Each structure stands twice: as C-alpha cells, then as structure tokens.
Amino acid sequence: MNHTDIEPNHTGRRLREIRAWRGQSLEVTAGLAGISFGYLGKLERGDVPLANRRTLEALARALRVAPSEFSPAPWHIEPAEVNEAAHAGLVEVENALDAYEFGEDPGLPTREWPEISADIARLGELSQGSADYAGQAALMPGLLGELHAVYARTPQLRRQALLGMITCYASATWTTKRLGGRGLPLLAARAAQQCADLLESPAWKGFTTWLRGDATGGLSRPEQYRRAMRTADELTPHLNDPEVIQAYGMLHLSAALASAVQGDRSTTSTHLDEARAVAARLDTEAGTFGRMWFGTPNVGIWAASIGLELGDGAKVAETARGVHVAAIPSTSRQAEFYMEVGRALLTDHRRRDQGVQVLMRAESLAPQRVHADVFTREAVADVLRAARRDAGGRDLRGLAWRLGIAPEQAPKS
C-alpha cells in the first residue's frame, strides 16, 4: 500500500470537492451547517481539524451526503493484505444481507449445531473483542446462511438460531459501517431488530435498538434519541432482569450521545447520571449481555467520548483517570477508551507526546478499529501539520503513516 496517497488535509479537500460538486458557496454551506464562514474556510484549508460528530454531521446535512463521505476510502488505510480480505468479504456480506429471508430455507448444507455455535462465539469475539473486520467479513456470510437454514429446518433450535443471527447482523452492522458500505449498516441493524421481535425478548429488543442507534445515529440524532427513550420506557417494567438492566443502561448512553451531538449538555448529563446509577445496580463491573460490556467502566468510556463531543478537550483525560478499563474483556473497547484519551491529550500542546503514546497503545490493541476512525486521523494530522517536519517525532510520524497520512506532505510551521 502507498500511504502517501492521503495528504494530512484529506477531509478539508473532500469538503471542498463535495461543496463544488453541489455548487454551493462557502457562505451558503456554512449557513446551512450552522457554523461560521471563517471556520468552514479553516476546515477546508486544514488550519483546524474536524473534531466532533456535531460538525461532521451538520456539514453532511448541509451538503446532502452521508457523513462517511468525508473519510478516506478504507483501502487507503489498512495494509493491503488486510484490505483485500476485508473488502472481498464486504461484497459477500452485502450478498448475504440481501439473500436470506426469515423462515425461507436457503437450501445450504449445515454442520452439527456445536460447530455452528463455536463459530457464533468466534464471530462475537472478532466483532466485539478485537474488531477484526477482515476476519468478520470472511466468517459472517456463510454462518448467516447456515443459521437461516437451521431456523427453517429445525424448530427446536430456532431460538438459538435467532440469537446467532443477531450476532451475525451486529457484526455486519459494525463491519459495513467501518468499511464504508453505504446503506448496509441500517439493513443489518433492522434485520437484527426482526430477530429480536421474533424472540419476543425485552432485553434483545433493547440491544437491537441500541445497535440501530449506533449504526445510523449520524443520520438523525433526534431520531436516535426518540427511539432510545421509547424503547427504554418499554423496558422499565422488566428491570428486575439483569440483562434488561444492561440494555436499558446502554439506551441511556445512546441518548446521552445523541444529546451531546445536539449540543444539549444538560440532557446529556441527565442520561449519563441515569446510566451510572443503573450500572451501580449490577453485581459486576462489566456485564456480558450482548457483549455490550455495560457497567461502570463502560459508562466512563462513553463519558470520555461525550466529553470530547462537548469540547472538553484535555479535561477528558483527567476525568478518565479513574476508569477501570481493564475490567472490560474486549481489546476493541479498551482501544476505544485509549483513542479518546489520546485525542484529548493531543488538544494540549504540552502533552502531545503523551497523547501519541496513548494512541499507539490503542493501535496495539485494535489496529483496524483505530485506523478506521476519522477523528483519530484528524487529530493526528492536525498535530503533524503543526509540528516542524524534523521535530515531529518518530512515533508521531510512524503513527501518521499507519493511519494513511503522508508525513512528508505536512507543511512546515
């Protein structure tokens, strides 16, 4: 792979390209996005990074495109051997999402259930454990076909098959979201919701509502909020069930993020407080239902993400000190925590070296997840632009290169 294909100001260039394609002036686009003309100009020139979902999504609405349009093509970022497998698999994932209907026998051969069950567990680990998108894309399509066959042929295994399908559809949601499969995350999340409806399970209804919010919240934060709260209200009579409690808590975190993106700090705090209170009711630090890992440490990770969204900067790193992230048995979730802390540290020029080290720790845990994150890439590119070419530091230049950013193209300060 040629990492020099992506310049540090890729996002700004994409903004200019899309705006020109739409035939919109800086003034019109800035007005539609609710930001200043000067700020949009700085974003396009690369003078400031695109640092939060609120601005990204406002610009996407103003230009009538999906937020993913501002990210580099994923094959520019990962090593070629990873991308070749992931994107070949992405086509198969899309075919699988289209091919199978509930109750219809796809006519595929199936293995014995213990073998299928073992692959469901393996897919869950690839998805919510290590965030290995290439591995998921290779495993999920065939497994999903088998599960539809089992559901159609073996009534006594229908519940297990539906639970396995939810794992498959959740994997498809996150894989297609990170690899740029437009429209596919929603298709996969809605299929997961169909499974929950067939299960008639409050806990799984909560999980799949949260999943849909995670997949498509960027399209409409008000709708993400309404959907999360509507389902949370439906779960309230069932809060004596620990699995329902975990789903209920995640819905409040979803509502908190949706509120933060809309700039409503007060409502955000209300839902974070509710999630903390619910987490305190659990007997464990990290619940295992749905591999959401809901509990006090996960609330802390969400609080870090939300703090960055609200513009709290380096303060996020200080408030995150008490988060017991090691309690969560998921390297990808731990990596997401270190991504947020690293980004927070990069906002303080005195702590940028420390921020780079924290981001490298995240990368060591879940490289595909880190490399796919637009905000991490923007934060690193911004530091790279600000650094003198010879004073940027080996670690910073190496991290930038692995993120697909060409260090040698960064201007001197």
Query: What contacts 269, CB < 8 A, 6 or more positions away?
Result: none
Q: Which of 82-86, 168-172, 191-195, 307-311 has the lowest mean pLDDT?
A: 82-86
pLDDT at 270: 98
Range of the domain at 194: 78-200
pLDDT at 119: 98
166 lies in a domain? yes
Q: Which of 19-33, 99-113, 390-404 has the lowest mean pLDDT?
A: 390-404
How wide is the angle at C-alpha 259 spanned by C-alphas 258 and 261, nearest 5°? Answer: 65
Instruction: Report residue 6's pLDDT band, with 50, 70 and 90 as the boundaries.
Output: low
Model confidence at 172: pLDDT above 70:
yes
156 lies in a domain? yes
The DSSP 8-state label assigned to residue 411 in this structure reads P
First to last CA, the chain: 28
263 lies in a domain? no
pLDDT at 11: 85
Q: What does the alpha-carbon distance between residue 310 and residue 307 come to, in Å, rounded to a whole number? A: 5
Model confidence at 390: pLDDT above 60:
no
Instruction: Report residue 384's pLDDT band, with 50, 70 and 90 as the boundaries.
Output: confident
Provide the CB-side half-sphere exposure for 48 (13 A, CA).
10
pLDDT at 3: 43
36 lies in a domain? no
Taking only the tens place, the pLDDT of each residue in 155-171 is 999 999 999 999 999 99
Taking only the tens place, the pLDDT of each residue in 335-375 is 999 999 999 999 999 999 999 999 999 999 999 889 888 89
10 lies in a domain? no
Render 224-288 in DSSP notation, one character per residue: HHHHHHHHHHHHGGGTTSHHHHHHHHHHHHHHHHHHHHTT-HHHHHHHHHHHHHHHTTSSSSS--
The model's pTM = 0.90
Model confidence at 248: pLDDT above 70:
yes
- Work out the mean pLDDT of the chain and round it to a whole number: 90
pLDDT at 7: 60
Q: How many domains does the chain have?
A: 1
127 lies in a domain? yes
Taking only the tens place, the pLDDT of each residue in 71-119 is 765 545 555 555 666 677 788 899 999 999 999 999 999 999 999 999 9
194 lies in a domain? yes
pLDDT at 72: 61
392 lies in a domain? no
How many beta carbons lie within 10 A of that of residue 138, not counting itself? 17
Q: State the residue for tokens 């930038």.
A: 400
